[in-house]
Structure 1
Amino acid sequence: MFDVAGRAADAVTWEPGSDELRALLASRACFAGRRLLPLPETLRSADLQAPPDTQGPLTPYVELLERTRDTLSGLAEGDGAGNEARSALLEAAAHARTGAVCLAGVREMP
């Protein structure tokens, strides 16, 4: 989730009409959130061959980050998470929220 949304943010950073700062902040938040989570069992992220479709609205990527935030927050509140895991999950959820807010504003320039 973080990888896909981060790649979308990277792809729109220098597009005309995009807010470069918000796109960079969204990308940074996605990278930071991804860094907090354990690697998949294959020890690498999923293969993402094609760049994300960023010609249309960025809403799907914003919604993906919002769902990621909700999921990570829910996992942190569960009984199975220890203090260290809970802290990492909440921090990753905060990065997902930041990424979503920033990415939502990339194309909202006056």
Structure 2
Amino acid sequence: MNTSMKTVDEALASSSPSTVLAAAWDALDLGARVADAVAWDGAGDELLALTAAQACSTARSLLPLPEHGRPIPLEASEIPAGPGGLTSYADLLDRTHRALADLAGQDAQLGEAAEHAATAARALAAVREQ
């Protein structure tokens, strides 16, 4: 996990809802870009990768826009090869799911975003399982 991912991971555990929502936005954006990249690398299940990307995008569309920030840098060459290469990204999406679920309470839109994040985490984790 790189420094930017660690920062997002820590922000997901914040007691500030706005901080958690901004971190969730960043994690979902990263998840979608990772899934898009691995969909075309020929090393896994393209349909699962596209499912993960779509779930991330759908979840992100249900969140408020962050007030500031930049996307987490990602080069396709930074994504480790092999079955375990996507684990840190899938784990980040799983933590995003839990953080959004904790915030959801009576907010159906956040609950729906949390479910999409969970779908994305499961799909991304399974992309390279053979």
User: Which segments of 5 or more consecutive residues in structure 2 lack a partner in the other structure?
Assistant: 1-26
Instruction: State the identity as a percent.
Output: 45
RMSD: 1.5
User: Which segments of 5 or more consecutive residues in structure 1 lack a partner in the other structure?
Assistant: 78-82
Deviation at 1:49, TM superposition (A): 4.3
Who is 1:80 aligned against?
none
CA contact (8 A) 1:7 1:51 kept: no
Q: Aligned partners of 2:121, 2:67: CA distance in 1, in Å?
A: 27
Who is 2:122 aligned against?
101
Q: Does 1 or 2 have the higher relative contact order (CA < 8 Å, sep 6+)?
A: 1
Who is 1:37 aligned against?
63
For these two proteins, the number of residue pairs brought into alignment is 100
Who is 2:36 aligned against?
10
Superposed structure 1 runs of 4+ greater than 4 Å apart:
none
Counting only pairs closer than 5 Å after superposition, residues 1-110 of structure 1 correspond to structure 2 as 1-42=27-68, 46-51=70-75, 53-56=78-81, 57-77=85-105, 83=106, 86-109=107-130
Deviation at 1:66, TM superposition (A): 0.5
Deviation at 1:55, TM superposition (A): 2.4
Q: What one-letter code is carried by the residue in structure 1 that aligns with 2:90?
A: V
Which has the larger share of helix?
Answer: 2
Q: Which moved more, 1:21-30 or 1:48-57?
A: 48-57
TM normalised by structure 2 equals 0.71
Alpha carbons of structure 1 residues 49 and 59: separation in structure 2 relative to 1, 3 Å: closer
